[in-house]
A and B are shown apart, each in its own frame.
Chain A
């Protein structure tokens, strides 16, 4: 009996030894707000993770982590279990990420779409989705017959408001009669509710459905009702082949690989990244031929101009709903203003929920 006990003890020591040596290996952790199978936001982050893995770096991920107390626990756990770099991929992880970063100065943190970098080991990164929204607005303004664009919004944060504004400004430019109707669903991900919101907007006369939520339900509802729609975060074309005009695609892979390698090689430094069409972090899915070749050409040109910086999504004069000037004629909005955007531009109906 004692012999066996000794044997267990020895093997336990060996296992422990193996365990610590495994911990020394460079590891990257990912925290997702939705399931990897949402075919939207989280799916694209997961694709980015796959690219990191393909580059020969070990990764771990935790999916469907609610934004709240759970988030901090999960991030802390990843930090404790020997991860060297942790990507937290939703706006609501902002405070938890900074809190954990304080306690783990040797672990590096990358928070998506946030603006708080309270410690030197926290970087932030986001994509200029609004550039894609500008293209959608241009297309929507040209394609709508009812002059009503339906917009399913998630939470009243700058990123979402920026998208609504960019889209509306671009649509107004090509069609001054445009109206943007907005429904706030207060969720990133609830297919049933998103479908209901899309249906409500369609019933209210919208013939273009746009979403800032993560599931494919809105485009499917649009397909069923025979109105146009745009995919969000990834190419949703196969869910609504007739209805989808194009999708905004978030491509995180190059950034994730670059940062992971930098962290492994010790060249990682704190930064605030905001990439767009130019760097390819925002990309457009193929345009639907139903748009007509003229419009496709127009939009492709606009896409090039946005990428090269010749055109900016927020070029003055821009007024808010009350008529106050936000951006003067001939000027463009600076990044600070874009990052904190919390008012609607003229032409958007309704109030922003407070």
Chain B
């Protein structure tokens, strides 16, 4: 399934409820759905605030695909400046000590909640962030 959202903070909550319904439909366990929801909100907020720089004219696209092995989610923005993550993310100790921005927290959280995550090449303008969750139950392919 695909979901296209206005680039406005708050709409990540609608995306969260849509994706949670999709994951329930796929038969994922509740605790894993909670991880999916948190990761999705963080990815959408990044797209809205950073990728799309809060520009209300732009959109955020969320795609979900589930197969036997995993649930894969992509969150794409239309930002003109590519996202350039620091080579070495700051550690929690450095952040708490006030070095750098607290903002990179979202990506760190996603990487801990999901089984894999990262930016992927994307044919169009903008950043595309993909994260995936391993599944424990069999299912047939559906997107």
Is chain B found bound to chain A in the same assembly? no
Which residue numbers of B lie inside 8 Å of A, CB to CB?
A: none
Which residue numbers of A lie inside 8 Å of B, CB to CB?
A: none
